[in-house]
Amino acid sequence: MTPLEIVQVAALEDNYFYIIHDPISGETALVDPGREAPIVAALEQKGWHPTYILNTHHHWDHTDANLSLKERYDLKIIGPAADRGRIPGIDIAVGEGDKVYIGDCEASIYFVPGHTKGHIAYYFDAAEALFSGDVLFSMGCGRLFEGTPDEMWHSLSKLMKLPNSTNIYGAHEYTVANSIFALSVEPKNADLVTHAAKVKQLRADNIPTVPTTLGLEKKINPFLRPMSDEIQEHLGMIGAPLPAVFKEVRRRKDHF
């Protein structure tokens, strides 16, 4: 296993920014920094100097500190090629199949449109770490602001092929609200019932529910479970194509 150290930084109402540090090379990357001050405070506490920003998509709460952090630290900004014109200060544009490195630690780029047209995710194989931005959350997925249900289902299907041990570092603390909706479409799912109670207690104690694991999400996340007999029955879509079931689950969540 890689020695990568990952620090989670809570900011705004419910965002998580991440700091990835390779202790061997000293290289450090900031994932989706929407605010400068909490990132700088966390870096100073660790004594780290950032070398890169890794952006997943263009939304302001993931990119607002790009330029100020670039000026402060003279770092390089990596972001989605498909969104190059909307990523402030981008230096290196990447897409599906490209690789980025923090020291010798390699991340594969996954093109995962749906939430936005240009969204990407970063998967560090050796660290079993996926930085999913706003595509995949615990018990949820991102709203379809720019993409289609078919695009999002294709993107999630791609990520579902990663190892079940993958740690998913989503960009928001939406888990309690997501669990309430998940229970509304699959109330007899024992794994879901158990985990929903756990996350409710974690948040009551002000403990993050992120990261989660892909193996767990396959058991409890309704957006990864259109094949569930209970979900299909609840929706009146028994035997329907999985993209159609996913589309209906997303529609119901949008109006929940």
Q: Which residues are catalytic, by number? A: 57, 59, 61-62, 115, 134, 172
Q: Is 51 helix (H, G, I), strand (E, B) or coil?
A: coil
Query: Rounded to an integer, what distance in angstroms lies between the CA atom of residue 178 and that of residue 31?
Result: 23
Query: Rounded to an integer, what distance in angstroms lies between the CA atom of residue 111 and that of residue 117?
Result: 9
b/e map of 162-181 (b: 16 or more CB within 10 Å)? beeebbbbbbbbbbbebbeb
Any bridge partners for residue 130, and if so which? 123, 168
b/e map of 127-138 (b: 16 or more CB within 10 Å)? bbbbbbbbbbbb
> Distances from the Cα of 211 to the Cαs of 5, 8, 54, 98, in angstroms?
14, 9, 18, 24
Query: Rounded to an integer, what distance in angstroms lies between the CA atom of residue 18 and that of residue 171?
Result: 9
User: How large is the C-alpha radius of gyration of the chain?
Assistant: 18
